[in-house]
Structure 1
Amino acid sequence: MHGFLTVKAQGISSGSYKFKVPEVNNAIKYVSKEEYKRTIFVDAVKGTDTNDGLSTDRPIRTLDKLAKMQLVFGDEILLKGGQVHEGTIELTNLNVEMSKGRKIHIGSYGGAKATLDFKGYPAGIWIQNTSDVIVSDLKLTGNGGPDTKTFMSRKDEKNKGQRYAVRILSNNSIEQSLVKNIIIFNVDIQDVFLLNPVKESRACNQWDMNDGAGWGWGVFGEVLKGNGIRNVDIKYVTVRNVSQMGIRFKGSGKIDGSLPRNVDNVHIENCTVYQSGGPGMQFNKCNNSYMKHCRITESGNRNDHRKWGRGSGMWTWGCVNFLLEYNVFEGAQGIADCCGAHIDFNCRNVVIQYCLSRYNCGGFIEILGLNYNCSYRFNVSINDGWRNMKDKPTQDFWGKVGTPGCLVTVNGHNHDKRYYGPYQSYIYNNTIICTEEGNAPYENPFVFNIATSNRGLVMMNNIFWFAKRADAGWSMHRWKDGEDYDAAYDFRISSGRKKGNNVKADARGSYPAEVRPMNEKELARMGLVMKNNLYKLYDPAGTDKFTKVAKALPEGYWDENALGGDPGFANVNGSEAEDMIPSNAGLINKGMAIPHLESDTTSYGVYFGGLKVLRDFFGNKIKGNIVGAIVPNAQKK
């Protein structure tokens, strides 16, 4: 059955930790509340295409026959469970005005899930400009195969040479191109590749994932000059071993700070992505959406030469009002970002809370330019940021690494050559653990990367529990066209181009820059509130904001009210959130109230619930204010 196996204890390791392979089920779980005018049964073994397919006694045999039956709203298509059905199911340009409130359901019958093998086809299930569709209780696989005439003749698809388990598309091929009310429930996706096996690895041979190279995707919803995608529920979906992303939604149009972005109300719950070649999930120009109770393991995986080999567990771009909570991000691999979850640029009100992030090579926190009111709060990070370019095992395995792992990245990177923002970022009450034993065999550089372009940044009540002093930001200061160019970090700014006969421009036409510390006015403009964080490395004899954390933070960094002491973790070298439950109530209860930034013109600060948080990582009530994400002697609920 194409490798849909249940494995509990095996997995791939990061250091000494083993990632579990996700469990899948073979049960039909979706209970429909709809009444269907016509149910079509497909039996790949006993069916006959001369049958009408309208009963289990007279099933049709092939999906080719199904395609000729002119599917309409009110139809239910059921594939016989325990069988492999080859081909594709397409719902294209069905007029929503004709639905009259009816749905189209695609699922299984016979007591078990059916497998839809779309090898050689563009998609397993293709939903284009069609609303009110339910897909449930199926296994989908499409591992390479020849390009069929159907695939090559498709003219309405922007990125030819891609393969999707489920493709949701809104484009301008018809007037009513709004796609809404889509449900995907209890579906397992595995082994989706455009190509047959190849000898030479394609991993990271290109920077852009959409460069026409040809990939395999899990669920991909996209707007191509259409009216948009709205109201999508994806629940209990497992995506395993695809060459690109597990789940992705992508809107269209320019991002200029105005609405609408044209993907709305996407709800992802209880989903799993395992060993995707690209990011586990990615959301682009999405509004009013959430991702909850999901697990993403080993995104950016390279166990197959056909994979991209780079990717954060999840990242957002151009999103507004997006909540991510109660998720697990673990084992992200590859160059550049590759965090557990990161907030790329042009976002507003993206909040990551109550998530467990562990063993992600790129790091834990990343907020980039032109973002407003984004937040990481009440998360637990364990041994993130292990990628180190000087680490020989890493170099041998990855080749070009890109940049070292970075625990905290808050910089203004965007598509412009200049850095802008981010603006009004709130990073508080996170428990961040990096231990030498837990990170073996890697040597973690513990990088902090805070750009001078920030305008409003709260960093309070966090626990920074690592054994060595953090390194400064990895990006270089450069000079071009009479101005500091692109990168300024660690409370230093470019003050002019370096002079001398041996100073040469780089490939971008920029020169190494002279740098100087920021002056008082420039620091004030950053609006940095960094205080009341707890450090493993702490100098109780320090006399000012710098020296108390001189052993912990890079040179030039400070904490207005640094805390020291032992939280009394249950097992500091463990890999589970419950290992980081503290017992030292006297220390943990020294938290401070989170201030509303002076530069923040919103009434809320953090869009989802405001700045005051009433419960900890495990759902326990918080009395007063605490340090870290977990109340002392917490109980896991």
Structure 2
Amino acid sequence: MNIKKNQIYFIATCCLISLFMLTKVAHAESNPIGNCYYVSSQRGSDTNSGLSISEPFKSLNKINELKLNPGDKVLLENGSVFEDQYLQIKNSGNIEACIEISNYGDRGNLPIINTNGKGVWYQDYGKPLPNPWHKYKGNVSSSILLKDVEYIKIKNIEITNDREKSQPDHLAYNDLKVMDRTGVASVAKNKGTLENIVLENLYIHDIDGNIYNKHMANGGIYFISELPDNEEKTGIPKYDNIIIKGNRIKNVSRTGLAVAYSAYFDLFQNSAEIDQELIEKYGNTNVLIENNYIEDAGGDGIVTMYCSSPIIQRNVSNGAGRQMNTTDYPIVTQRVAAAMWPWKCKNALFQYNEAYSTKNADQGNGDGQAWDADSADGTIYQYNYSSGNSGGTVMFCLEKAVNSTFRFNISQNDKKGILNLPNNPDAHIYNNIFYIDEGVPFVRKDMNTGSALIENNIIYNAGKQPINEEWNPNNRIIYSNNLYCNYSNLPNSDNTALLLNSQESNIFVSPGNGPVKPNFNYLTYDRFNQNTVFDGYKLEQSSPAIHSGKKIIDKNGYNLGTDFFGIKLDGILDIGAVKSSK
């Protein structure tokens, strides 16, 4: 891996966690060390024992009444519909055996929990949040609630929490007082560090929560840490070894997936650079978010918060920011959303992700980007693909976005302005491909006061005529050794620039023909076999980008590693995100 040693360690740790959980599940199946409880809405009865397929419980209420022990399983029958029901797990597994919640039965529809506003609990961070618009306490309805529990694995369940099927609250859908809702919520409070929680292959949709509340447990999957009753006695509430993978989340309000807002936010407010000891003491560690598909999130797609070296990889966001417009969201403040980004994280790694059609930058969404390094230290975006995002490709957000790296990514026809630089102190942007639609500026006009070093990129204007670009509106950007296609001017700082006219250029095999919508199977597109949907961005045999790259020394200490297609980089670099075959 072309990342720092500490990130290699965390990737290895996450892989071991997954292997551990799978090993424990296999052990439980072959040598049961706990009970297996069966629940069927179709053929069950709450007077049954629940301990066999022939005597299943009927309702989830029976599970909520149980004291689950390490090694116990709760299995919901495929095809079952649990209307107006929910699960509130109050007990933990342990290092020897997790508690598992999953499905059983003949192949068919997954068991579905339709919560419809039930399962209400009270969230309270214990103190007001820095922004007075951000709600910090109140009722939340969650289909599955994990409160102060650990060593839990939940998989193969469908979940909804639909407001239209709930008891009428006589409020407009976008009223400030609408109750927050979640598919799966996890709360750390009075048990210190919660370890080993796995959420896998869940289909979470139609979670009609509050449009505005971004730090309540409000959306598809949301983890939080509240102030404990007695920190000296129970320890600091946070998470370690969290795996969220293979889930499909669609049509939720407000956030698709978030791990994990913390009541200790005030410890991270002063310095831009995040102290490693501080984030490991109060933040979340060993967080892996991979292979998830998020569609039509009302606000943000995936957000990691207060994490040390989280790994966010091979996820897809499609249509994030759905409700960030002046009709759905009439209140101006905090009407912002992007596809995938960190908040107050140290060394967050985003790689192999795809972001499509993040919405509404032209209708009131103040962001709308695919990617956003936001008040984070050491964020790296690499090997990602973005297309058609209304607010641009990437933002480095304000003064506390520091030590950011953006490399070996491909952007195709993102809108409004490719780079968003709102007063950030630094960003190292190198060896990317920016294929830019007609009329779209390279630097977004309302976010152009920040600093960046931009080198070895291919910047390709796909318009009909060469344009005169405003490359450096505030004289804080340095360009070096980039290839510019179809421009009538160059940045003053780029003394080794290559300039080509699009009509006579032979840079790529077939530019502009990358995917514009996600893969039909909800996974990222393959890029490692011989023929891929990204092949149009491979270099022509006679491309002037070949062997024209400069030597790159990453400003944040990362090794180069591979190109966009996973080809190892050695020898003379090419310009752009793709290594030639020469």
TM-score, length-normalised on structure 2? Answer: 0.74
Superposed, which structure 2 residues align to 1:280-429 within 5 Å?
Answer: 280-302=301-323, 311-334=337-360, 335-345=365-375, 347-368=376-397, 369-385=399-415, 405-412=416-423, 421-423=424-426, 425-429=427-431
Superposed, which structure 2 residues align to 1:521-600 within 5 Å?
Answer: 529-538=478-487, 549-550=489-490, 558-565=493-500, 566-576=505-515, 577-583=534-540, 584-595=542-553
Which residue among 168, 181, 184 is the counterpart of 1:163? 181
User: Which AA in structure 1 matches 2:60?
Assistant: L
The alignment status of 1:138 with 2:87, answered yes or no, reads no
Q: Which residue of 1 aligns with 2:196?
A: 181
Distance 1:448 1:120, change over 3 A: closer
How many angstroms apart in 2 are the aligned matches of 1:586 and 1:69? 68
Q: Which residue of 1 aligns with 2:578?
A: 630
How many angstroms apart in 2 are the aligned matches of 1:342 and 1:101? 39
Which residue among 184, 192, 212 is the counterpart of 2:207? 192
For residues 456-475 of structure 1, what are the alpha-carbon distances to aligned partners after superposition, in whole Å with 9 as ceiling and x for unaligned?
A: x42100111013536659xx
How many angstroms apart in 2 are the aligned matches of 1:219 and 1:277? 13
How many angstroms apart in 2 are the aligned matches of 1:235 and 1:596? 30
Q: Which residue of 2 aligns with 1:618?
A: 565
Q: Which residue of 2 aligns with 1:444?
A: 440
For residues 318-365 of structure 1, what are the alpha-carbon distances to aligned partners after superposition, in whole Å with 9 as ceiling and x for unaligned?
A: 1112111111111001221111111112x1111000000110011012
Larger mean CA deviation between 443-452 and 613-622 belongs to: 443-452
How many angstroms apart in 1 are the aligned matches of 2:317 and 2:311? 15
TM-score, length-normalised on structure 1? Answer: 0.68
How many angstroms apart in 2 are the aligned matches of 1:290 and 1:587? 31
User: Which AA in structure 2 matches 1:272?
Assistant: Y
How many angstroms apart in 2 are the aligned matches of 1:301 and 1:453? 28
Which residue among 461, 464, 473 is the counterpart of 1:490? 473
Distance 1:125 1:75, change over 3 A: same
For residues 80-110 of structure 1, what are the alpha-carbon distances to aligned partners after superposition, in whole Å with 9 as ceiling and x for unaligned?
A: 1012123111123x3x6x8463211111000
CA offset at residue 383 of structure 1? 0.4
How many angstroms apart in 1 are the aligned matches of 2:420 and 2:390? 13
The alignment status of 1:129 with 2:148, answered yes or no, reads yes
CA offset at residue 37 of structure 1? 0.9
CA offset at residue 306 of structure 1? 6.6
User: Which AA in structure 1 matches 2:408?
Assistant: F
The runs of at least 4 aligned residues of structure 1 exceeding 6 Å deviation read 303-309
Q: Is the 8 A contact 1:448 1:472 kept in 2?
A: no
User: Which AA in structure 1 matches 2:340?
Assistant: M
The alignment status of 1:461 with 2:456, answered yes or no, reads yes
Distance 1:164 1:65, change over 3 A: same
How many angstroms apart in 2 are the aligned matches of 1:587 and 1:360? 26
Task: Name which one, 1 or 2, has greater alpha-carbon Rg.
Answer: 1
Distance 1:192 1:377, change over 3 A: same
How many angstroms apart in 1 are the aligned matches of 2:460 and 2:187? 45
Q: Is the 8 A contact 2:307 2:345 kept in 1?
A: yes
How many angstroms apart in 1 are the aligned matches of 2:95 and 2:394? 47
Q: Which residue of 1 aligns with 2:7?
A: none
CA offset at residue 384 of structure 1? 0.6
Query: Identical aligned pairs, as a percentage?
Result: 23
For residues 285-343 of structure 1, what are the alpha-carbon distances to aligned partners after superposition, in whole Å with 9 as ceiling and x for unaligned?
A: 11121111111111112499878985211121111121111111110012211111111
User: Which AA in structure 2 matches 1:490?
Assistant: P
How many angstroms apart in 2 are the aligned matches of 1:277 and 1:163? 13
How many angstroms apart in 2 are the aligned matches of 1:190 and 1:34? 32
Q: Which residue of 1 aligns with 2:124?
A: none
The alignment status of 1:82 with 2:46, answered yes or no, reads no
Distance 1:209 1:422, change over 3 A: farther
Q: Which residue of 1 aligns with 2:174?
A: none
Larger mean CA deviation between 324-333 and 262-271 belongs to: 262-271
How many angstroms apart in 2 are the aligned matches of 1:379 and 1:82? 42
CA offset at residue 145 of structure 1? 5.4
Q: Is the 8 A contact 2:573 2:579 kept in 1?
A: no
Q: Which residue of 2 aligns with 1:67?
A: 64
How many angstroms apart in 2 are the aligned matches of 1:349 and 1:274? 28
Distance 1:445 1:52, change over 3 A: same
Structure 1 unaligned spans of 5+: 1-29, 149-158, 196-201, 203-207, 386-404, 413-420, 437-442, 474-488, 493-525, 540-548, 598-604
CA offset at residue 573 of structure 1? 3.2
Query: What SS is found at the alignment partner of 1:465?
Result: strand
Q: Is the 8 A contact 1:228 1:262 kept in 2?
A: yes
Query: What SS is found at the alignment partner of 1:66?
Result: helix
The alignment status of 1:243 with 2:264, answered yes or no, reads no
How many angstroms apart in 2 are the aligned matches of 1:453 and 1:241? 34
User: Which AA in structure 2 matches 1:357?
Assistant: S
Distance 1:470 1:229, change over 3 A: farther
Distance 1:490 1:64, change over 3 A: same
Distance 1:426 1:446, change over 3 A: closer
Distance 1:371 1:100, change over 3 A: closer
Query: What SS is found at the alignment partner of 2:367?
Result: coil
How many angstroms apart in 2 are the aligned matches of 1:191 and 1:306? 16
Distance 1:145 1:128, change over 3 A: farther
Distance 1:131 1:578, change over 3 A: same
How many angstroms apart in 2 are the aligned matches of 1:163 and 1:101? 33
Q: Is the 8 A contact 2:75 2:103 kept in 1?
A: yes
Q: Is the 8 A contact 2:507 2:545 kept in 1?
A: no
User: Which AA in structure 1 matches 2:395?
Assistant: E
CA offset at residue 621 of structure 1? 3.1
Q: Is the 8 A contact 2:209 2:254 kept in 1?
A: no
Distance 1:147 1:263, change over 3 A: farther
Superposed, which structure 2 residues align to 1:469-484 within 5 Å?
Answer: 469=467, 472=470
Larger mean CA deviation between 621-630 and 572-581 belongs to: 572-581
Q: Is the 8 A contact 1:538 1:563 kept in 2?
A: no
How many angstroms apart in 1 are the aligned matches of 2:215 and 2:283? 23
Distance 1:470 1:211, change over 3 A: farther
Superposed, which structure 2 residues align to 1:202-281 within 5 Å?
Answer: 209-210=213-214, 216-226=218-228, 227-252=237-262, 253=264, 254=266, 255=268, 256=270, 257-258=274-275, 259-260=278-279, 261-281=282-302
Distance 1:170 1:307, change over 3 A: farther
Q: Is the 8 A contact 1:378 1:617 kept in 2?
A: yes
Number of aligned residues: 467
Q: Is the 8 A contact 1:314 1:341 kept in 2?
A: yes
CA offset at residue 451 of structure 1? 5.4
